[in-house]
Structure 1
Amino acid sequence: MRGLGVAKYFAMVVLFFTAFTLAAMAQGRATVYGTVTDPTGAVVPGAQVTLTNLGTQQTQHAVSASDGSYVIPSVLASRYSLKVEAQGFESFLAKDLVVQVDENRLIPVQLGVGAVGQEVVVTDTPVQVDTREGTLTQVIDAERVKDLPLNGRNPLDLQFLVAGAGNSTNLSGQQQNALVSFNGGRYNTNNYTLDGVDNEDPFFDSPSVVPNPDALDQFSIKTSNYGAQEGRSSGAQINAIIKSGTNKFHGSLFEYLRNEVLDAKPYLSDTVAPYRRNQFGGSIGGPILRDKLFFFFSYQGTRTVANPNAITLIVPSAAERAGNFAELCPAGFDASGTCKSTAKPNKQLTLPGTKTKAPFNNLATYVYPGSVNFMNALVPAANGAGNNYTYTPHTHAADDQYITRVDARLGERDTIFGHLIYVPTNNINDQTPALNLPGFLQDIKYTNWHVAINETHTFSPHLINVATFGYNNIVRHQSPIVPGDASWSGFGSGIVKADASGPKGFDTKVPTYFNAFAAWPLDQFRHEYQYSDMLSWTHGKHTITTGFDVRQNYTYQNQYFQGDGQVLFAASYTGDQLADFVTGRPNSITQGSSNAGRPRNVVPNVYLQDDWKATPRLTLNLGVRWEPFVAAHDDFGRVSTFRLGQQSTVLPNAPAGVLFPGDAGMPKDGIADKWNHFSPRVGFALDVFGNGKTSLRGGFGLYYSDINTQAYNSESLNQPYAYKLTINKPAGGLANPYGAGGSPYPYVAPDPSQYSSYQFTLPVTIQGFDPDFQVGRVEQWNINVQQQLPWKMISTIAYVGTNGEHLILTYDANPGVYSLGGKRQYAPTFDMIQQFNSEGHSNYHSLQMTLNKRLSHGITLMANYTWSKALDNITAQNTKMTNPFDFSDSRGLSDVDLRHVFVMSGIWRMPSLRNHFVNAVLGGWELNGIWSIQSGSPFTVMSGADNSKSLQNQDRADQIGIARTYPNRPRAQQMDEYFDTSAFTANAPGTFGTARRNSLIGPGQDRVTLGLVKRLVTVEQARLLFRAEFFNAFNHPTLNNPTANVSSAQFGKINGAGDPRVGQVALRVEF
C-alpha cells in the first residue's frame, strides 16, 4: 500500500509541472515599506521603487506617495535588493536584504542629489523596529530551523523559543503532533498554515503535516493582536513556508542516528532502554527554466525501533489458576481456615458475592472456565521471583515524507506556486505498557496529503490580488493486535459481540496485576478544502486589504469502541481483583455498538483591514472580520440532545428530554448557527523619535474559536444511532452478564422509517450540546516598546493580556446527588448526560521581554523571558468539571500556568582560519543550543474517593492546614515528600473538597540542549558536515509532579522524572 501511495504521489507531481490552472489567505507574506527623502529630510514623492528577488529575479514595484511613503505588500520571504529612482536624484540600491515571513521590513531611503545614472549602493542595511503594526510576532528564521538541535527533527519544538509559549500536551497515538499553549490560551486554539493554506487536523485542531527542517524554510508565530486577515482561532497564528527553488541548484543529503549508546540512564532507573532511530533523506532545488520556472523536492524517512524499559506484571501462580489463593495470606491460617492477620499484605478472601470468609482462601469450586481459557491463552507463567513476569516490549514505527514545491513566473504580472506533500506513517506500539500483557499492541496508520496552489496577480504597483486553493486530507486506520485473535466470547463467556461483523478489540483490566488491552478498531477520513482571495490596495496613506476565506470541512468516522466489552475487575466480590478474575466476577462490563458520524460544514469568512499612516510617525491598524459560526451537519442526521421535560415527536417513544432534528426548538445540527460574529481589530504603531529605532505599539482584538469535529462526532453515540451499555456488578458474572433480559447485541441501528416505533432501552445515555451553547471568544490586548540596539539586535518589552469567555467545556448534566444516596437526579430514565457547555472562562496577564539578534558575524541569538499568571475554571474541553453543580468552584490557576519562563537560543559559527592546517583542526566549527528555565506546573490535591456521591470521581481533598511545598530541599527529600501531606485529608461526605484547584506548584525545569557541528570537507560549493546533538546535555533531572491523591500510598511522593540526556549524531552534505 505504501508503494501505491508513492506512485500516486509522483503521478501528482507530474501534474504539478504540467498544469498550473488554478490558483487562503496571504499568511506568510511580508511587507516592505519606508519613506523616501532627500538630503534635507524633505519627502520625495513619485519615486520608482523596485524590489528584486535575488534567487529568482522576480520584481515587485511601488511608487512613493505624496508624503514620500511606499509600501510593497505580499512579499515572499527571501533575499532581495531594493532600488529607488527619482528624477534629479542619484539612484539608491540596497543589496542583500533578508525579508522574513510575516515581517514588516522598514527600509528608509535617502536619495542624494545628482544624475539618475549615478548610484549609491548600501550593503549593510540595519534591522529597524516595526513601525507599521501592533502585532506581536516572532520569527523562527531559516538559520534556526536548519541549525538548532531538534530531537526527532520536528521544527514544532522551536515554538517554545517564543515569548508567551507555555505547556504542551503529551503526544499520543490519537493525534500526530503535540499542542502548545500561547498566552494562557487552550492547547487547541492555535491556527497553523503552510504556504498560506490551512494545516490543521480538524478532529483534534493539531498540526497536520510538519515539514522536516531540510524542507521548511521558516515560520512566524503571531501571539497577540494580529489583523483581520487572520482568524479561525483565538490563540496564536503559526505561519510556515516551504523552501523554493532558485536560479542556483541547492540541496542536502543527511543521515541522523539516535542510539541508546549516547543516552544517560534515566534518573530513577539503572538501565538504558534500547532505542534506535534513523532519519535519512535529502533535498534539492533549482531552476527548470531560468528566471521562469523553479522546483524544490525533499524526502525524509524515519525508522524507529524501541524496546522500552522492562515491564513487570503479577501473574497467577499455578495454585491461583486453580482457585487456591492461600499465598495471599503469608501469615498462615488458623484451624478454621481464617487468615491469622489482617495487616498488609495479608488478605482474607470471601466467597464470591457474600460476606462469608473463604476457608484457606480456597475458591476452587468457583473457578470460571472462561477465565481459565483466558489464562491458558494469554497469561504467561511467572519467570521471576514470586509471581512476577518480566518482559521487554518491542515497538517500531516507519514514517516517510515527500514534499514538492513548484514556483512559476507567468509574465510581469503573474506568479504562481504550489506544493504537494505526502506523508504515510505506520506505528505499532504498546499503548499501555505499565501493566499490559505481552502481544497486545495497537497498529495505527496515518496517510496525510497536503496541497497548496497560490496565484498572485499584480494589476498595478498599487493593486495586488492573491488567490489560493488548499486541500488537506488525513486518513487514519487503527487496528488492534490481539494474540490469537482472542475474545471473551471465544473463551466461552456470555458476552455477545456488539456488532456481528465488526472487527475485534480487547480491553480487560485486573488492576495491580495485569491488563490485556489493544486499541479499539477505528477508521477516520478527514478532508478540508479551502478557497481564499485577498486584494491589497495601496492608496495614499492607506493600505487596504480585503478578502474572503471559505473552508469546506468533511469528516467520516466509523468506530468500534468497546464492541467486545471493556471488562474491569475490582475486588468487588472476593476482596481481591485476581480472585474476582479467576472466578469470572467483573466489577463492570461496558459495551458499545459501532457508530458512524459524518459531520461537514462550509464556513465563509470576510475581512477588511486598513493600515492607515495617520501621521508620518503614527500608523493605525483598523480591521473587522466577519467570522460566522456554522454548525457541522451530519450526513446521516445522527444528532440528538437533551432538553429537560420536552417530548420528542420525531421519536415519540423516546424519554421526555431527548430531542432530535425536526423536534420543536431543536436546531437541525444540534447547535444554532451564529451569523452575527464580527471581530473588530484595532492596533497602532508609533515611531517615537521618527528615526525607525524606537517604536511604541499595541492593540486590542476580539477572536472566536471554532469547534473541532471530535465534539460533533460524540452525538452519533446516542440511541438510536448506537447503543452503549454498562453493566455494574453483573449478577451472572461473565457466564450470564446480561441477566434474564438477554443481550441487546448485536445491535442494528434503525432506519429513519422505523423511528416512530423504536423502543428505547433504559437508562439512556446522552451526549450533546447545551441548549444555550455559545462559541468561545477571546479578547487579546498588548502594549509594547521596541528598541533597535547595536549589532543587529532588537529588544521588545510588552504587557500582554487575554480574557476568554464562553469557552467550551464538558460536564455531566445528570450527576449523582448526595441526598439521594448517590443516585442520578434523572434516574432511572437517564444515566450520564454529557453536555458541551460554554461556561468556561480564562484570564491571562504577563510581562514579556525579548532580545533578538539576526545572524551577523556568524552569531544569532534569541532570548525571551515571560512572567505571567493564567487563571481559568477548566483548561481543556474534554476535562471533567470537579463540581458539576457549580462551575465557579473550579476557578484557579490554569493547567498551562507557568509563572516564570526563560528561554535562550543561539548559534555561533566560528570563522575560518587562513592557515590550511590550523583551519582543518580549529576552523569550521559551529556551536548551537537552547537553554530553558521555567517554573513548575500547578496541580490539584485530590481526595481519591467519591465522597460527594456525584459519580464524577473528581472530588478534591479537604485542606486542613497550611499547604507548604519544599522545592529547595535536597532532591531525595523532595521526592519523598514534596509538600506537607498533613495539610490535606479526604473531603467530608456530601462535599467536593475545600482544597482549591491547582493550588500547589510542582518542580521546575532547567534544561540545556547543545549541538556541535564540524565542517569536515569543502569541495567548491559542497560541504560535508558532522553534527552531534545532546538534549538535556548536563543530565539535569526534571522531576515530575508528585502523587496528589490522599488515598494513595504514594501521596506526596515523586515517582518519576523527565528524559535524561539523550544524544544523536549526523552526517550531512550541503550544496
Structure 2
Amino acid sequence: MRRFGVLLFLLGLAVPGFGQSNYAVLTGIVTDSQHLPVVGAAVKLTAASTGAIRRVVTNQHGLFEAPALLPDDYELNVEASGLATAKQSLRLEVGQKLAVDITLRVGSVTEGVEVTAGREVLQTTGASVGEVVEPTSIRELPLNGRMLIDLVLTVPGAHVGFGAQTGSTNPLYWRPGQRSAVVIGGSRPNANFFLLDGATNTDPTFNTQNLSPSPDAVKEFQVETSSYTADMGGAGGGQINIVTHSGSGQYHGTIYEFLRNGAMDASTFASMGNNHLVQNNFGASFGGPLIGKKTFFFVNYEGLRLAQADAQILTVPTQDEIKGDFSTNNVKIYDPTGAVSNPNYNPSLPTGPSNFPYKRSQFPNNQIPPGRINPLLESFLLKYLPQPNMMMMGDADSNNYLDARTENHIQDQGTFRADHNFSNGDTLLARYSAGGEYGFSPSSGMTSTTENLPGFGVNFNNLSQQAVGSWNHIFTSNRVNTVSLALSRLSMDRTSQNDGVNDIVSALGIQGIGFGGKNAWGSPWFAVQGYTGIGDTFAATPMHAWDTTIELRDTYAWQRGRHGTKFGAEFHRYIWPMWGFFQNRGYYQYTTGYTTEFGFNDGSGSGLASMLLGLPAVKQRQAGIPQMDLR
C-alpha cells in the first residue's frame, strides 16, 4: 500500500511537471563490433562555444543519457577499455531529444575513430511536431522592423493572424513593438505559449508575448505545432521556445543599423500620397569569457526610432451642418416634436414603415432652429472638428476628409546574460532582459471604431521585464536536476492626448461624468451614425495595468536501466493590479431614428441632427473607478 501511495505521488508530480524545455537531451547506446552493449564506457560531451564538459557512463545495457544540455555544437568522445575511442561532432538544438548509436571497434584507447555516419543520428524519442529556426535563419533572413515573431511564419502551419499588431486579442492591448499575432495550426493568435530560456514569457493578462527579444540576442528557437511533451503544452496553440545567446570562449561583438525611408518606397493607395516614413533599427552586442574561461557573459542593446504617416479617409460634417443647416444636404430631416396625421395612412392595411398613422413635419428649409441646438455642443464641434478637405463622393456627405498625422514610436531594449561552468559539470545561468516603448498613435486601438479625428490620439508607455536564474546539478552520471526561478513583469500605460490638457467634459457642461481628475481629462465618445466617431474612444481612456509572474520550476532526470524517467513540478504566482477609466467621460450613440419622417429607417433623418437636438439612442457612463487586485 505504501509503495502504491509513493507511485501515485510521483505520477502526480509527472502530470503537471514541466521540464526545462530550453535545453536539449542526448541519449544513445554504445556497442562493440559484435553489437553487444559496452558497459562502463566513458562518454564526454564538450561544448564548442564555452568548453563546458558533461561526462556520463553507459549502464549495464550500454545506454547513456545526458539531459539539460544548452543548444550548441558539441564534440562527442566515447572511450572504453580495450576499444578504440570514437569521436563525433553533433549539433544540439533547443528542445531537441537526440539519440545516437556508437560502435566501438577493437583497438587501444589512444586510437581514435571518427564517426561520421549520418544515419546513426536519430531523433526518435519524441512524437512532437515542430521545427527549429536556426541561428543562420535568424541572422540572415530579412525582418521588417526586426520583429522576431515574423520568423515563426517560416514554420509549416503558421500564418499571420487578423490584425497586424494584436490579432484578435483584447483591444486594450496596444504594444506596437511586441507583435504576437501569429496563428499556428488554426488556433487563435492569443492561444500560443511563449518561453524564453525555459521561463514562461506569456503575459497572463492578454495571453500574448511579454518580451520580444532582439534577433541579435537570440541563438535559436523552436516552434512546436502539435503533440506536445509534458514540458510544453502551456496553451492550445503553438509552443514558441526561445533561447538567448550565451558568451563563448572568445570575444565577439556586432554593431548594426538598419534604415527604412519612405523616400525609397513606392506610394500605396492607403498612403494617399503621403509616404512619410523614417524607421531606424540600431544596436550592438558583445560577449566572451569573464573569469578563467569558466564564466561567460553576453550583452545586447537594440533601439527603434519610428516616425510614419498615418493616413485615413474620414467623414466629418460641414460647418453649416454643425449649425443645423442641412439645406444643401439631400437627406431630409424631420422634427421629432412635430408629429401630424399621415393622410396616406390606410387602416385596412398592416401598420408598418410604409403605412403608419402618423408622420413628422420636416424642419423648414431643412434647417434646425438655432434655439433648439445646445450652444456648448455647437461650440465644441466647431472647435474640435476639422472641415472637409476632399470632394464628396457623388451626392453622399461621406469620405470628405483626408487625415494625415504622424505616428511616433520609440523603443529601447537590452539583455544581459551570464553563464558559469563548474568543474563537476554543474552549470549556472542568469539573465535579465528589459524592453520599454513609448510614443503617440493617431488611432487608439485595433477595432472598427478607432478611426480617431485629429486631437483625439493616444499616448502609450509600456515596460516589460524578465529575470531568470537556472542551475543544473549533476548528482551522478545518470541523475541530473534542473531548478529555475523566473520573475516577469509587464507594465502598460495608455492615455488620451487630451489628458491633463483639455477638460472637454466640463466645457460641455455634462453632469455625472468626467471624474478621475486631471489625468482623465478628455472628451466623451460620440458615435454618430453616418460620420466618423467624435471624441476619445473607449480604447483611448486612461488605462494602467502592471502584472507580475513569479515562476519556480524543478525537473529531475533519472536514467535507470533501459528506462529514462523525468518528473518535476511547477509553481506560478500571478499578481495583477489594474485600474482604468473605461467610460468615465461617457458614451453617446446617435442614430437617424429621431429625425426620420416616420420614426423608422426610411432613408430620411440624420445622426448629426439627432445629436444637435440632444437625442441619443444610447447613453452609457462608468460608475466609479474600476480597480482590480487579482491573484
Task: Compute the TM-score of the two structures, normalised by the length of structure 1.
Answer: 0.50
The one of 286, 290, 293 equivalent to 2:292 is: 290
Residue 596, structure 1, aligned to residue 627, structure 2: yes
Moved more, 534-543 or 575-584: 575-584
CA contact (8 A) 1:353 1:573 kept: no
Question: Are the equivalent residues in 1 in contact too, given 2:426–2:474 (CA < 8 A)?
Answer: yes
1:596–1:494 distance in 2 versus 1, CA, 3 Å: closer
| Among 373, 377, 380, the residue aligned to 2:379 | 373
The corresponding residue for 2:9 is: none
1:218-297 to structure 2, matched below 5 A, reads 218-266=220-268, 271=273, 273-297=275-299
- The equivalent position to 1:68 in structure 2, one of 53, 62, 69, is 62
- Identify which of 514, 520, 536 aligns with 1:497: 514
Instruction: Report if the CA contact (8 A) 1:263-1:272 is conserved.
Output: no
Q: Secondary structure at the match of 2:149?
A: helix
Give how far 1:564 is off: 0.8
The Cα offsets for residues 494-518 of structure 1, whole Å up to 9 and x where unpaired, read as 4533556772243222243332343
Tell me the equivalent position of 2:173. 174
Aligned to 2:78: 84
Pair 403,353 (structure 1): closer, same or farther in 2 beyond 3 Å: farther
Query: CA distance change for structure 1 residues 384 and 178 in 2, over 3 Å: closer, same or farther?
Result: same
Runs of 4+ in 1 over 6 A off after TM superposition: none
Cα contact 1:314–1:514 (8 A) shared by 2: yes
* Partner of residue 483 from structure 2, selected from 456, 467, 483: 467
Aligned counterpart, 2:344:
none
Listed one character per residue, the Cα deviations across residues 343-396 of structure 1 (whole Å, up to 9, x for unaligned) are: xxx211111455221111110231211211212321233444468443311210
- Report which stretch shifted further, 267-276 or 355-364: 267-276
The one-letter code matched in structure 1 to 2:127 is G
Contact 2:514 2:520 in 1 (8 A): no
CA RMSD of aligned residues (A): 2.3
Q: Which amino acid counterpart does residue 332 of structure 2 have in structure 1?
A: Q
Change (3 A) 1:127 1:570: farther
Mapped partners of 1:434, 1:550: distance in 2: 39
Distance in 2 (CA, whole Å) between partners of 1:495 and 1:350 is: 30
- The 5 Å alignment of 1:712-731 reads none
Q: Who is 1:158 aligned against?
A: 151
Shift of residue 270, structure 1, vs aligned partner: 5.9
In the alignment, is the contact (CA less than 8 A) between 2:299 and 2:416 conserved in 1?
A: yes
Which residue in the other structure is 1:325 paired with?
A: 326
Query: Which of 344, 351, 358 is matched with 2:335 structurally?
Result: 351
Shift of 1:159: 1.5
Aligned twin of 2:546: 525
Correspondence 1:207-222 to 2 at 5 A: 207-222=209-224
CA 1:103/1:353 → structure 2, altered by over 3 Å: closer, same or farther? farther
The 5 Å alignment of 1:134-145 reads: 134-145=127-138
In the TM superposition, what whole-angstrom CA distance separates every residue of 1:204-240 from its partner, at most 9, and x where no partner exists? 1101011111001111112222222334323332211
Q: Report the CA distance shift for 1:266/1:475 in structure 2 as closer, same or farther (over 3 A).
A: same
Q: Is the 8 A contact 1:510 1:577 kept in 2?
A: yes
CA apart distance, 1:181: 3.0
Bigger relative contact order (CA 8 A; separation at least 6): 2
Q: 1:43 aligns with which of 33, 37, 44?
A: 37
Shift of the alpha carbon at 1:269? 6.6
Q: Deviations over 1:77-122 (max 9, x none)?
A: 0111000001111101123x22111112233212121111111134
Matches within 5 A, 1:414-813: 414-431=426-443, 435-482=451-498, 485-494=502-511, 496-499=513-516, 503-506=520-523, 507-518=525-536, 519-574=540-595, 575-593=605-623, 594-600=625-631
Aligned counterpart, 1:187: 189
Q: Secondary structure in 2 aligned to 1:412?
A: coil
Q: Which residue matches 1:306?
A: 308
Amino acid paired to 2:283: G
Change (3 A) 1:499 1:253: closer
Kindly tell me: are residues 58 and 135 of structure 1, through their superposed partners in 2, closer, same or farther at Cα, counting changes over 3 Å? same
Which amino acid in the other structure matches residue 51 of structure 1?
A: L
SS, match of residue 297 in structure 2: strand
Does the CA-based 8 Å contact 1:314-1:512 persist in structure 2? no
Task: Name the CA shift for 1:521/1:270 in 2 (closer, same or farther; >3 Å).
Answer: closer
SS in 2 for 1:261: helix
Answer with 158-167 or 272-281: which moved more. 158-167
Q: Secondary structure of 2:435's partner? A: strand
Is the 8 Å Cα contact of residues 505 and 563 (structure 1) preserved in structure 2?
A: no
CA, structure 1 residues 312+146, in 2 after alignment: closer, same or farther (shift >3 Å)?
Answer: same
Residue equivalent to 1:362 = 367
> What's 1:201 paired with?
203
| Cα distance per residue 1:913-968 (max 9 Å; x no partner) | xxxxxxxxxxxxxxxxxxxxxxxxxxxxxxxxxxxxxxxxxxxxxxxxxxxxxxxx
CA distance change for structure 1 residues 558 and 133 in 2, over 3 Å: closer, same or farther? same
SS at match of 1:114: coil
Shift of 1:175: 4.5
Aligned to 1:603: none
* Cα distance in 1 between the residues matched to 2:150 and 2:304: 17
Instruction: Tell me how far 1:414 sits from its aligned partner.
Output: 2.2
My pick for the range that moved more, 170-179 or 70-79, is 170-179
Q: Distance in 2 between matches of 1:263 and 1:55?
A: 41
Indicate conservation of the 8 Å contact 2:20/2:482, yes or no: yes
Q: Could you list the per-position Cα deviations for residues 184-223 of structure 1 after superposition, in whole angstroms to 9, with x for gaps in the alignment?
A: 3333332211011110111011010111110011111122
Q: Which runs of 5+ in 2 are unaligned?
A: 1-17, 167-171, 339-359, 596-604
Deviation at 1:410, TM superposition (A): 3.2
SS where residue 137 of structure 2 aligns?
helix
Gaps of 5+ in 1: 1-23, 329-345, 601-1071
SS at structure 1 position matched to 2:136: helix
How far off its partner does 1:486 sit? 3.8
Question: For the Cα contact (< 8 Å) 2:529–2:592, is it kept in 1?
Answer: no
Q: Cα distance 1:564–1:67, how it changes in 2: closer, same or farther (>3 A)?
A: same
* CA shift digits 1:437-468 (9 cap, x unpaired): 21211111111110110011101110101010
Q: Which amino acid aligns with 1:390?
A: L
Q: CA deviation at 1:542?
A: 0.9
Cα pair distance change 1:323/1:391, threshold 3 Å? same
Kept in 1, the 8 Å contact 2:53–2:425? The answer is: no
Alignment check: 8 A CA contact 2:316 2:385 kept: no
For residues 529-563 of structure 1, the C-alpha deviation after alignment (integer angstroms, 9 at most, x for no partner) is: 00111111111111111111000001011011110
CA distance in 2, matches of 1:392, 1:79: 52
Structure 2 counterpart SS, 1:534: strand
- CA distance 1:288–1:268, change in 2 (3 Å): closer
1:99 is aligned to 92
Question: Which residue identity is paired with 1:381?
Answer: Q
Identity of aligned residues (%): 26
Give the Cα–Cα distance (whole angstroms) in 1 for the partners of residues 411 and 622 of structure 2.
32
In structure 2, how many angstroms separate the alpha carbons of the residues matched to 1:557 and 1:136?
Answer: 38
Contact 1:216 1:240 (C-alpha < 8 Å) held by counterparts? yes
**Secondary structure of the residue that 1:326 maps to in structure 2?**
coil
Question: 1:872 is matched with which residue?
Answer: none
Q: Name the SS for the 2:300 alignment partner.
A: strand
User: Distance in 2 between the 1:587 and 1:273 partners?
Assistant: 40
Secondary structure of the corresponding residue to residue 214 of structure 1 = helix
How many Å apart are 1:301 and its aligned residue?
A: 0.3
Residues 311 and 162 of structure 1: is their aligned pair in 2 closer, same or farther, counting only changes over 3 Å?
same
Q: Aligned residue for 1:856?
A: none
